[in-house]
Amino acid sequence: DTEVTQTPKHLVMGMTNKKSLKCEQHMGHRAMYWYKQKAKKPPELMFVYSYEKLSINESVPSRFSPECPNSSLLNLHLHALQPEDSALYLCASSQGQTQTQYFGPGTRLLVL
Amino acid sequence: DAKTTQPPSMDCAEGRAANLPCNHSTISGNEYVYWYRQIHSQGPQYIIHGLKNNETNEMASLIITEDRKSSTLILPHATLRDTAVYYCIVRLAVQGAQKLVFGQGTRLTINP
C-alpha cells in the first residue's frame, strides 16, 4: 500500500481567509513533503519534514505555515494568500529521506 | 546541482515500446536517477529508479549509460493510459536531506 491522502480535493479561499490543507499516510513513513505545482509547470519543493522536524524550507513565504503533529499527518496552514498562490499543492512521503517518495492526489487551491 | 534535460514531447503508437531519453551530464556518483509520471494534474506516480545498473519492474525498464550521463526509460508495450508527462529527476543531497528537483518533463502521447 503506497497511499497518501490529501484533503480537501479542491479549495477556494479569499485573500483574508485562513484555511488548512491536510495530508495523511499510514505507511510508517518518517519523511513528509509539501510541493507546489503551477499550471503547466513541474512540482516545486516547499518543505521537508523528517521525523516530525522541519529539515528543509525552500524560502517559502510565511503566509504558508507547515505543521507535522505526528508521524502520519502533515498540515499546511494558509493565511493571507495572494491570487498567484493558486496552484496544485502536493504532499508526498517516504520511508526515510533516502527512499522513494510517494505522492498524494493533491489539493487544487484557488485564491480569489 | 545535477540537472536533467528531456525532449518536451514525444509520440508513440499503442502497443509499441516507448523510449524516453534523459540527459544528466552533471550527475554525481551517489545521486540516483528517478522517473515519475503525472497524468492530467493527478499526483506524480513513481515509476522506477536506479544508480548505476539497469533496472526493471512491472511498469518499465531503466537503462543507465556506463558513464551515468544519460538514461532511457522504456515502456515495453505502451497503452493509451500511458499518455502523461514523464519526469526524469536526479535526487539531490542538500543540507543533510534529500530532495527531488523536477525538470520540465516529456509529454508522451500514445496514439491509437
pLDDT at B30: 82
pLDDT at B96 over 60: no
Q: Cβ B44–A43 below 8 Å, yes or no? A: yes
Of B19, B75, B21, B29, which Cα lies nearest the Cα of B52? B29
pLDDT at A85: 97
Where residue B93 falls among pLDDT bands split at 50, 70, 90? low
Q: Is the separation of the CB atoms in A28 and A95 below 8 Å? A: yes
Using a CB-CB cut-off of 8 Å, the residues of chain B touching A108 are 41
pLDDT at B87: 97
Query: What integer best gives the mean pLDDT of chain B?
Result: 92
HEC string of chain A equals CCCEEEECCEEEECCCCEEEEEEEECCCCCEEEEEEECCCCCCEEEEEEECCEEEEECCCCCCEEEEEEECCEEEEEEECCCHHHCEEEEEEEECCCCCCCEECCCEEEEEC
Query: What integer best gives the mean pLDDT of chain A?
Result: 93
Cell numbers standing for residue B62 = 531503466
pLDDT at B95: 62
Using a CB-CB cut-off of 8 Å, the residues of chain B touching A102 are 46
Residues 5-44 of chain A whose Cβ lies under 8 A from any Cβ of chain B: 42-44
Of the candidates A48, A90, A108, the beta carbon closest to that of B99 is on A48
Over residues B24-54, the pLDDT tens digits come to: 998 988 888 999 999 987 999 999 999 998 9
pLDDT at A99: 79
Cβ-based contacts under 8 A for chains A and B: 48
Of A90, A78, A84, A111, which Cα lies nearest the Cα of A37? A90
pLDDT at B97: 65
Rounded to an integer, the average pLDDT of B93-110 is: 83
pLDDT at A97: 64
3-state secondary structure of B57: coil
Residues 48-107 of chain B whose Cβ lies under 8 A from any Cβ of chain A: 49, 87, 94-105
- Rounded to the nearest 5 percent, the helix, strand and coil shares of chain B are 5, 50, 45
